[in-house]
């Protein structure tokens, strides 16, 4: 299968080389890699250029954007800068972060999963972070959720869900819409990806309400938002985050921010969420 990979990179001079090396040395090499240097102020561009000179299938796109690291819109806008220079000859398109080290068989294993199941729309491994000189699971979400750091989409699924939404919550709405259209999602616990910087490492204060805003834009409704906010805040060990999430939800509702999904899709999403909540409680 032809893998095209897009890697948004903002000030990743200390990690992007490790990421690229791990992709270059895959047992199944990608056909194209585009690294989007997104307004970096360090030597990220120089590091990427070293690889561009060595490998014809690695490309660099320089992008000028905000210096603020807001989750959602910034990274997806950078993704599209890379997407614009690619052709349509891909089977799988990936959005990877620039601080990951992939096991050598990562792409080959994903390819096997996609080949075995024609209804498989998205697949990934798991992120691991280093603690006390050991690599442990970065346990921030459900194990059936594909982290935004390492998304891989079958072409048909990617196009049917309307590609990626430039908004906080993009890495949740993609899965929900994939399920809405009948696609399956797979996470392979045998694929352990080293995540060099923990999630949220460089998020700033301006992003604190965006999670609650995303729940509103996904048409969760207040009760599901309340339950989700409690769970997220508990997992991250911060009651303040709970208040930020709820505040973000009501702020979005007051301002009548545009939804990311249709009414029909929203109904499907709420039913799916309730099934998950009830299943965990019984």
- pTM of the predicted model, to two decimals? 0.89
- The closest of 192, 141, 195 to 169, measured between CA atoms, is 141
Q: DSSP label at 206?
A: G
pLDDT tens-digit series, residues 118-175: 999 999 999 999 988 899 998 766 788 999 999 999 999 999 999 999 988 899 999 9
Cα 121 to Cα 138: distance, rounded to the nearest angstrom: 23
- The encoded tokens of residue 146 equal 């594909």
Distance CA 126, CA 146 (A): 8
Measuring CA to CA, how many Å separate 260 from each of 61, 264, 274?
Answer: 28, 12, 19
Q: What is the pLDDT of residue 70?
A: 60
Give the N- to C-terminal CA distance of the chain in Å, as an integer: 41
Residue 51, CB-side half-sphere exposure with 13 Å CA sphere = 23
* CA separation for the pair 257, 228 (Å, rounded): 20
Tell me the per-residue pLDDT of 30-89, one tens digit each, with 9 for 90 and over. Answer: 999 999 999 999 999 999 999 999 999 999 999 987 655 566 788 999 999 999 999 999
Q: Which fold has domain 3-195?
A: Spore Coat Polysaccharide Biosynthesis Protein SpsA; Chain A (3.90.550)
| pLDDT grade for 204, boundaries at 50, 70 and 90 | very low
pLDDT beyond 60 at 206? no
Q: Give residue limits of the domains in the chain.
A: 3-195, 208-281
Residue with tokens 């690229």: 20
């Amino acid at each position: 299968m032809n893998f095209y990979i897009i890697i948004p990179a903002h000030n990743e001079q200390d990690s992007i080389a490790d990421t690229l090396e791990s992709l270059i040395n895959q047992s199944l090499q990608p056909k194209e890699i585009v690294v989007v240097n997104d307004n970096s102020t360090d030597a990220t561009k120089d590091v990427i250029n070293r690889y561009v000179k060595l490998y014809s299938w690695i490309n660099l796109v320089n992008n000028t954007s905000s210096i603020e690291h807001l989750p959602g819109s910034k990274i997806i806008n950078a993704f599209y800068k890379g997407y614009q220079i690619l052709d349509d000859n891909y089977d799988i398109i990936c959005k990877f972060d620039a601080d990951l080290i992939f096991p050598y068989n990562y792409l080959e294993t994903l390819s096997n999963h996609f080949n075995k199941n024609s209804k498989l729309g998205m697949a990934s491994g798991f992120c691991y972070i280093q603690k006390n000189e050991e690599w442990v699971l970065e346990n921030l979400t459900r194990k059936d959720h594909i982290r935004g750091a390492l998304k891989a989409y079958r072409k048909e699924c990617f196009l049917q869900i309307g590609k990626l939404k430039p908004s906080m919550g993009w890495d949740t709405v993609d899965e929900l819409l994939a399920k809405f259209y009948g696609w399956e999602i797979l996470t392979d616990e045998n694929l352990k990806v080293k995540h060099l910087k923990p999630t949220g490492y460089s998020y700033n204060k301006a992003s604190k309400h965006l999670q609650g805003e995303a729940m509103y834009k996904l048409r969760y409704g207040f009760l599901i938002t309340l339950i989700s906010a409690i769970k997220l805040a508990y997992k991250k060990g911060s009651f303040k985050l709970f208040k930020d999430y709820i505040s973000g939800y009501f702020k979005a509702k007051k301002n009548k921010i545009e939804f990311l999904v249709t009414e029909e899709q929203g109904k499907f999403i709420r039913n799916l969420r309730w099934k998950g909540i009830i299943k965990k409680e019984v």
